[in-house]
Amino acid sequence: MKRLAIIGGGSWGTALSIVLAPRFPELRLWVYEPDLAGRMARTRVNDLFLPDFELPPNVAPLSDLKTCVEGADIVLSVMPSDHVRRLYQQMLPWLEPRMLFVSATKGIEQGSLKRMSEVIAEAAGARFAPRVGVLSGPTFAREVARGEPAAVVISSHDPELARTVQLAFSGPTLRLYTNSDPVGVELGAALKNVIAIAAGVCAGLGLGANTLAALVTRGLVEITRLAVAAGGQERTLAGLAGLGDLVLTCNGELSRNRRVGFELGRGRRLDEILSGMRMVAEGVHTTFAAAELASRLGVEMPITTQMHAVLRGEKSPRESLRELMERSLKEE
């Protein structure tokens, strides 16, 4: 594996380019904003999404998809979930069956309710059946870029792909574990952002550790319930892509989704909060998709249901919290 193409020049895509650069002779980073790509090429810094971190010499920031993707051995996609299908359709002329495709996007496609690996498979499937894996785990971009040790999961139904990516990406500060349950990994990665919004709401309301512990524990229950109903494995949600990512995102000050919830808890409107954010908080869209998916699969998700109502402006955070506490009593 000599050539890596990373599609998405936000904070996470940039951090991955920094940590993976020593593992590849050639690394191309596609950046949506041409002016930002130009600045990054000159200054070697992503001043918009990940300032204070210098790009390694072998990272080439580009704004042209063809130049970025053509000839790559691995295509690692890190774009927001609502852009995945469109970008893969645009890249299609330069994609090849020999390439390995890895999704590091955490979300569910609006409307279709498909996971990102399914979206990639459909988009590339117009020409060939792609080999797709999923990368997920408890990671904040700034900490990865700083070289702090982190562990993630590479999941695929294709064990050879998972092993190849594991060997290609693992290094002194990033450790990869293989996993054969992309359904559980992707839904765990997406749904933890919903619970993180709820965790932020609790913090914004001034609530303490007791409330957060209960929220995280019961949040994991409903994430697992939905993932299993969709075909995932329960044990996956006890691992890095489930519990690990959930704990990080619900507790970490760097979590964008937790920040959204915190501001909601303080009484701010959702549109006002989102308009002031430079980067995407995937949990907002995921909450709507998760509520719809839960309804489709007949799965009870009380925290998600309440967050859905709060985001729609139908209930206040305090009202939703009260309803959660006053639900009918039951066995754990």
Neighbours of 125 (CB within 10 A): 12
Residues 133, 199, single domain; the answer is no
Interval 119-141 mean pLDDT: 97
Residues 137, 237, single domain; the answer is no
In a domain, 332, yes or no: no
Indicate if 330 belongs to the active site: no
Per-residue pLDDT tens over the stretch 63-89: 999 999 999 999 999 999 999 999 999
- Of the residues 180, 195, 226, which one is the last residue of a structural domain? 180
Tokens of 266: 């303080």
In a domain, 330, yes or no: no
Residues 278, 300, single domain; the answer is yes
The residue from 66, 106, 114, 192 that is catalytic is 192
Query: What is residue 279's predicted lDDT score, i.e. its pLDDT?
Result: 76
Are residues 5 and 21 in contact, defined by beta-carbon separation less than 8 angstroms?
A: no
Per-residue pLDDT tens over the stretch 192-223: 999 999 999 999 999 999 999 999 999 999 99
In a domain, 252, yes or no: yes
Per-residue pLDDT tens over the stretch 163-174: 999 999 999 999
Are residues 300 and 294 in contact, defined by beta-carbon separation less than 8 angstroms?
A: yes
Are residues 261 and 196 in contact, defined by beta-carbon separation less than 8 angstroms?
A: yes
Neighbours of 219 (CB within 10 A): 24
Interval 38-59 mean pLDDT: 97
State the virtual CA torsion across 71, 29, 278, 36 in degrees, nearest 10: -110
Per-residue pLDDT tens over the stretch 32-44: 999 999 999 999 9
Residues 72, 199, single domain; the answer is no
In a domain, 331, yes or no: no
Question: What is the b/e burial string over 31-51, where b = at least 16 CB atoms within 10 angstroms of the residue's CB?
Answer: bbeeebbebbbeeeebebbbe
Is the pLDDT at 8 greater than 90? The verdict is yes
**CA–CA gap between residue 7 and residue 262 (Å, rounded):** 30
Interval 293-322 mean pLDDT: 96
Query: What is residue 281's predicted lDDT score, i.e. its pLDDT?
Result: 81
- Of the residues 140, 157, 180, which one is the last residue of a structural domain? 180
Give the CATH number, domain containing residue 206: 1.10.1040.10
Is the pLDDT at 26 greater than 80? The verdict is yes
Interval 293-308 mean pLDDT: 97
Domain that holds residue 162: 3-180
Give the CATH number, domain containing residue 144: 3.40.50.720
Residues 259, 318, single domain; the answer is yes
When divided into structural domains, the chain yields a total of 2
Share of the chain above pLDDT 70, in %: 100
Question: What is the b/e burial string over 248-279, where b = at least 16 CB atoms within 10 angstroms of the residue's CB?
Answer: bbbebeebbbbbbbbbbbeeeeeeebeeeeee
- Of the residues 158, 180, 202, which one is the last residue of a structural domain? 180
Residues 168, 199, single domain; the answer is no
Residues 200, 314, single domain; the answer is yes
**CA–CA gap between residue 60 and residue 319 (Å, rounded):** 50
